[in-house]
A and B are shown apart, each in its own frame.
Chain A
Amino acid sequence: MRLCWLIALLLLLGWGCVSASPTLESSTSDAALNEPIQPVPLPLPRDAKQQSIIALGERLFSDPRLSSTNTTACINCHTLSKGGADGERFSRQPSGELAPVNTPTIFNLPLNFRLFWDGRKRTLDEQIRTDPFADSDTHWDQALGKLKADTQYPADFATLFPDGLTITNIQNAIVAFEKSLVLVNSRFDRYLRGDLKAITDAEAKGYSLFKTYGCTACHQGANVGGNLFQKFGIMGDYFKDNGHSNHADAGRYNTTKLEDDRYVFRVPSLRLATLTAPYFHDGSAKTLEDAIKVMAKYQLGRPISDEHISLIIGFLKTLPGEYQGQPLGTDSTP
């Protein structure tokens, strides 16, 4: 009797191994393994409570009461339909002043190894709890008071958090929403995952050029950048050539106070590059063409033809991905 069970078990195991092996092989593409750019990992499924917290975070993200003047919500500068930014060179703050640097996209932040142009924060949690919010002018105590007076928030928080409406929970909800803003399943990701028809030949050519021109020396990984620091102006002095250098231009130097870190910035992700003009920390490049030219000259130290630039732009257009199942921007048409 026992022997019968043993044989049955062995057969079952054997069958399991045989049937499992082809699936493993088909799930990964040899091509993708060797590429400097990797597909954005698909998010884990979320339960109803997590979904509710994200929805709550989205409402807070759009709520101007979080600013002291009740005029500006997070979403004012991080407009989801504008690639998670606002299209301005410098966003206007509630105080009326302009921000010192160009607003980066709110998408794909968990894929970045640091936050802000100068990389002064590591995580979204750290950022929302410790950054003085000079840019957004949020005073948490004030914001909490205003939200407590709201008809809906206290009840919503009470159902989702044991301790109800608190500053920490407001921040947690916003962070949960921000973390959900990861774009997946772009045409290029599908290409990397083995769907060779997901991008056109021209776009594939653009990718090839992107690699050949050395762009992947920095713009690599799942977020096509965003995972290392780099000095702006390796093969030439960008700031000297442009004739100005302000506080924000010092970049990481402002954090470390090391001369070696002057003009060093976090390498930006290019996932949403086609949707988030203007470019660079100072928004000095109005178009992608301009940006690519500056990059070729100051970072790569080599000339580049307009034809190649447009082919590379064509490749960049395959990168953004889908938000809530819908392709963002021009991603949809190959």
Chain B
Amino acid sequence: MKVLKQKAWITVSLITATVAVAALGFNADRALPPEDYQRTVSHINESLYVDSRINEAVLERRQGLDRNYDLISALVARQHEILEEFEDGSTLARQIAESKLNADVTTLTAAVTAKEESVERFKRHYAVQRNSFQYLQIIIAELVKTATENHQSVLAVSLDSLLHEILLYSVTPNSLDDERVSALLNSLEIAQEKLPPDLAANVHITIKHGRVLLTEKTATDALVRQILAPTTRMLTQKLLRNYETWHKQRSEVIRNHQYQLYAISLVSAIYLAYILVQLTRTSNTLKRNLHDLSNQKLAVDEHAIASTCSLGGNILSVNDKFCALSGYDRAELVGKKHKVIKSGFHSPPFYTEMWHCILRGEVFHGEICNQRKNGSYYWIASTITPFKDERGIIEYFVEIATDITARKEAEQRVSSLNATLEKQVEERTAQLAETNKELEAFSYSVSHDLRAPLRAISGFSAALTEDCANQLEPSCLDYLDRIRGASEKMNHLIDDMLQLSRVTRAEFAATTVDLCALAHQVTDDLRTSNPTRSVEVVMPTDCIVQGDARLLTIVLVNLLSNAWKFTRHQAQARIELGRLDQQGEAIYFIRDNGAGFNMAYSDKLFKAFQRLHSTQQYEGTGIGLSIVQRIIRRHGGRVWAESEEGKGATFFFTLAPPPFTANEGLGSA
């Protein structure tokens, strides 16, 4: 947003700058075509040229080199035209107005007009001067001839010198000669009175022309000086100079303006290129995004049920899956209220909560049951996302949903199944409890009811032995001993059976237990009851496990007393309790160097009342290891044994289910 504003700002300022510079330079540009400049300069130069040509022509005319006024008149007329063109609204006049040189032109025009007037007067006076000068030559020549004929030699001489002076005078612009001609004319005037009438008349004409010549030549010389004065030339040059200065300044303004335009064009071009690159990038990104989006949409349409919905609850669009699932045509859905597929399964507060959630602008997740066109129901896992416009007002909702009808049905089946199972379990548990009670009752009756006759057998046979020993045959006493021994053995069997059943039914309370401490107590008891035996017992300082202390004591009693028992014939009896760690599993063992057993019968080891040795060799009921196995199983562990006959045996057990390792997992899979 910020970047967009910045771009807009740059664009606006660029356009403003361009327009400003263009507007600023517009007049300047328009007012200065090079041909106008050249025309103006050449026009002023022509004026300069004509001005000097006028001077030349006037001088030539005065010196008699040119014999008419056509050239002068033409030049003066041309000069007049040139100046008129500065004021007649033509291109030149516009240039003069632009450069604010009207005052210069006015001054120049006044000077040129004055010069023209001087030229006109020069022509006028010079014509008269020329006439008198020409005629004086003729008339003086005639007079000299007449005077000579009439022997007027003085007159002839003075006329001759007058002619001489006039000839000199008329070609020199020197006013000093004025006085000499004037003096000669004066002396002629005096002489004239003494002359014969016809001669006097001609002398009179001569004097008259001489005085005209003097007057006109003075006027002509003054006019020529005026004409040759550099006023017009200087004013024209000044005009030219001022015009060129103005033009130069103007050109610089335009050039600057052009540079500004170039600069702005360059900046604009670069900026444009930048924007184009940006646009291309953006468009590529958009294309890519659009492509991704369409792919995603395709994927979503393939997978999910999608629809959009207006703020008012009207369906805006639906995808094919939606139609297929709901059983409606697209035309039947678009524009309609979303309610058409409402199932009535959910309570009104469910919908209210849903609407509140999405109207708050939050995403709604939920499982909704809808109704098909044919009246059947289907379930969807729906995600409704509200989309907001720039002002944060919700525009529409998009619902993406998955058909979970099958899952829902499965769930229902599972739950009903579970209910049945639970019922079965309850029934079985009840049966089991019943059976247990019966078993306990049986055990109780066995232990009590069987013990009572046993005690009678044992007690009466002992009484017989004590009271009637001397009355009986030694063989009878032996029989009585055997009866008592058998009944005691039976009593042991009953005890073990009761113990076995207790182990199975006992409460299981797991605590932290030190196996070694328990083992010490057990071995201490064994040493006390068999003080003649020397057995080396090896165990670590401690061996902490989790388990039921009471049950574990039974395990150790059975295993250690077995080891104690089967090492009886060893000179150096040795019992070792230890722990192994294999693949993260703690394995405990009790090893002895006793009689050992044949591994071929190892499967009989843990079965109740099964024995590998005869009672004569080693006493025992054959129930100990069966109890051990039950206790270990109650801990979730395993128990097994390794042995070789005559080389001792090792009983291993664990106190927890084996850890589920990756290898095992994979292997079992």
Contact = CB atoms under 8 A, between A and B. Distances in A.
B340 interface: no
Given A113-B73, A235-B208, A217 B67 contact: no
B212 interface: yes
A216 B77 CA distance: 22
Interface string B547-589: 0000000000000000000000000000000000000000000
A228 interface: yes
B120 interface: yes
Contact of A301 (B68, B138, B209): B209
Interface in A35-80: 35-38
B454 interface: no
A301 B139 CA distance: 11
B652 interface: no
Nearest to A228: B123
Contact of A228 (B69, B132, B139): B69
A93 interface: no
Contacts of A286: none
Interface stretch (A194-202, A219-227, A273-281): A219-227
Contacts of A221: 68-70, 73
Given A217-B127, A301-B205, A227 B70 contact: yes
B130 interface: yes
A231 B121 CA distance: 10
A235 B68 contact: no
A214 B209 CA distance: 13
Nearest to B66: A36
A214 B131 contact: yes
Nearest to B121: A260
A228 B130 CA distance: 14
A122 interface: yes
Nearest to B219: A260
B134 interface: yes
A260 B209 CA distance: 20
A146 B581 CA distance: 141
B135 interface: yes
Kindly name the residue among B131, B205, B209 whose own CB sees the greatest number of chain A CB atoms within 10 A: B131
B73 A228 contact: yes
A37 B68 contact: yes
A214 B126 CA distance: 12
B80 interface: yes
B66 to A, nearest CB: 9
A301 B208 contact: yes
A34 B66 CA distance: 8
Contact of A227 (B67, B68, B132): B68
Interface residues of B, number: 25
Contact of B77 (A37, A113, A231): A113
Contact of A220 (B68, B76, B124, B139): B68
A9 interface: no
B358 interface: no
Nearest to B209: A301
B138 A212 contact: yes
Given A228-B123, A301-B135, A301-B212, A217 B69 contact: no
A166 interface: no
A268 B600 CA distance: 171
A12 to B, nearest CB: 33
Contacts of A113: 69, 73, 76-77
Interface in A209-244: 212, 214, 216-218, 220-222, 227-231, 234-235
Interface string B35-70: 000000000000000000000000000000001111
Contacts of B341: none
A148 interface: no
Contacts of B205: 301-302
Nearest to A234: B128
A38 B68 contact: yes
Given A35-B67, A229-B120, A214 B134 contact: yes
Nearest to B132: A301
A229 B123 CA distance: 8
B284 to A, nearest CB: 60
A160 interface: no
A264 interface: yes
Contacts of A300: 131, 135
Kindly name the residue among A36, A300, A302 whose own CB sees the greatest number of chain B CB atoms within 10 A: A302
Contacts of A214: 130-131, 134-135
A278 to B, nearest CB: 24
A218 B73 CA distance: 13
Interface in B127-181: 127-128, 130-132, 134-135, 138-139
Interface in A244-276: 260, 264
Interface in A298-334: 299-302
Interface string A98-119: 0000000000000001000000
Nearest to B130: A217
A35 B67 CA distance: 7
A42 to B, nearest CB: 15
Interface in B328-366: none
Given A113-B77, A221-B69, A221-B70, A228 B127 contact: yes
B213 to A, nearest CB: 11
B67 A36 contact: yes
B67 A229 contact: no
Contacts of B212: 234-235, 301
Contact of B73 (A216, A227, A234): A227
A218 B135 contact: no
A188 B68 CA distance: 17
A229 B124 contact: yes
B26 to A, nearest CB: 31
A260 to B, nearest CB: 8
Kindly name the residue among B70, B76, B80 whose own CB sees the greatest number of chain A CB atoms within 10 A: B70
B492 to A, nearest CB: 147
A264 B124 contact: yes
A287 B205 CA distance: 27
A222 B132 CA distance: 23
A299 B130 CA distance: 12
Nearest to A299: B131
Contacts of A216: 67-68
B127 A302 contact: no
A32 B377 CA distance: 131
Interface in A113-147: 113, 122
B277 to A, nearest CB: 54
Contacts of A299: 131
B138 A228 contact: no
Given A38-B68, A235-B208, A230 B132 contact: no
Interface in A169-227: 212, 214, 216-218, 220-222, 227
Interface string A22-42: 000000000000111110000
Contacts of A264: 124
Kindly name the residue among B135, B139, B208 whose own CB sees the greatest number of chain A CB atoms within 10 A: B135
Given A221-B73, A301-B131, 17 more contacts: A36-B67, A36-B68, A38-B68, A113-B73, A122-B80, A217-B127, A217-B134, A221-B68, A228-B69, A228-B120, A228-B127, A229-B124, A299-B131, A300-B131, A301-B132, A301-B209, A302-B135
13 contacts: A38-B70, A212-B134, A216-B67, A217-B127, A217-B134, A220-B69, A222-B68, A228-B120, A230-B124, A230-B127, A231-B124, A300-B135, A301-B209
In the complex, the 6 A-B pairs of residues with the closest C-beta atoms, listed nearest first: A220-B68, A214-B131, A221-B68, A221-B70, A228-B123, A36-B67
